[in-house]
A and B are shown apart, each in its own frame.
Chain A
Amino acid sequence: MRNKRIAFLGAFLALALICSYVESLIPFYFGIPGVKLGLANIVVVIMLYTAGAKEAVCISTLRILLSGFLFGNMFSILYSLAGGLLSFFVMYAVKRTKKFGIIPISVCGGISHNIGQLSVAVLVVENYRIYSYLPVLLFAGILTGFLIGVAAQEVIFRIHKTM
């Protein structure tokens, strides 16, 4: 059982890394260098419902550090950590209310992911003006969060069926 669990977590980490890699290839640009869509959030959403919160935050942090060393730099690690951790805690908090489904939780995650990244950018350049990117990032977070939520929900239902 323990081994099975470790294999399971390893597979999640691999999946999350692939998401980061795919994301590093997409020439998606929000106006602020380094701001990412947050595709790897799909793994966090799935894990929240199948593996548990502790596991989700562990794999998410590991993924950020590894992908930062592999495909990014110091800044991308900072951004991703802020975005990843903030979105994890927001999703965890919303999930604990037990009032909402997977899709809106993922949307909350998408939004907070981008707010986290933007906050780091503001701190790094010490210029509040780049908050003017907030609306774009909010809409982008809602859209990616929604799509990730739809996809994650399908995966979660299938995992629950086989378990």
Chain B
Amino acid sequence: MKKRFGKRDFILIAVLLAAAFVIWLLISRTKFAKGASAVVTVDGDVYGTYPLSQNQEIPIMKDEKRTNILVIKNGKADITEADCPDRLCVHQKPISMTNETIVCLPNKVVVSIEGSTESGIDSIAK
């Protein structure tokens, strides 16, 4: 072992950085747009779609038990209460932009933001 950091090493890291940057660009193209509604999935199935324009409180039930509470307020969706042990979903910031998500892993609950109505239909179909 001689050289600590060769030209090849530099190139590989530069390529990986460039790839990460391209992926970031591709994904952020769909982000940074104000979302229209919050979609809740439980176990991968759509539980409900709620417009962000309407302030409301949605209890998320699973097996007759309330697992999480989703609150929509001032155009933002937030999980304010949960029965999961880590409560990490509660600590996540409110979301309002398309493709943003709040994940509760123990309960397998995902809240994600959908865009305007036209894109909302085809993304549910996926």
Instruction: Judge whether B104 and A103 touch: CB under 8 Å.
Output: no
Secondary structure of the A side of the interface?
helix
Instruction: Judge whether A107 and B13 touch: CB under 8 Å.
Output: yes
- Tell whether B65 is near chain A: CB-to-CB under 8 Å: no
- A25 CA to B29 CA, complexed, in Å: 34
Task: For B88, give the chain A residue with the smallest CB separation.
Answer: A33
Instruction: Judge whether A75 and B105 touch: CB under 8 Å.
Output: yes
How many Å from the CB of A120 to the closest CB on chain B? 10
- Tell whether B110 is near chain A: CB-to-CB under 8 Å: yes
Chain A contact patch, size range: 35 or more
- Tell whether A132 is near chain B: CB-to-CB under 8 Å: yes
Interface residues contributed by chain B, number (CB under 8 Å):
40
- A131 CA to B110 CA, complexed, in Å: 12
Instruction: Judge whether B20 and A135 touch: CB under 8 Å.
Output: yes
Instruction: Judge whether B23 and A103 touch: CB under 8 Å.
Output: no
Enumerate 27 A-B pairs (CB-CB under 8 Å) in ascending A order.
A31-B92, A32-B105, A33-B86, A33-B104, A34-B86, A75-B105, A99-B8, A101-B5, A101-B8, A101-B9, A103-B9, A104-B12, A108-B12, A111-B16, A121-B103, A125-B103, A125-B108, A126-B41, A126-B44, A126-B108, A127-B110, A131-B27, A132-B27, A132-B99, A134-B27, A138-B19, A146-B13
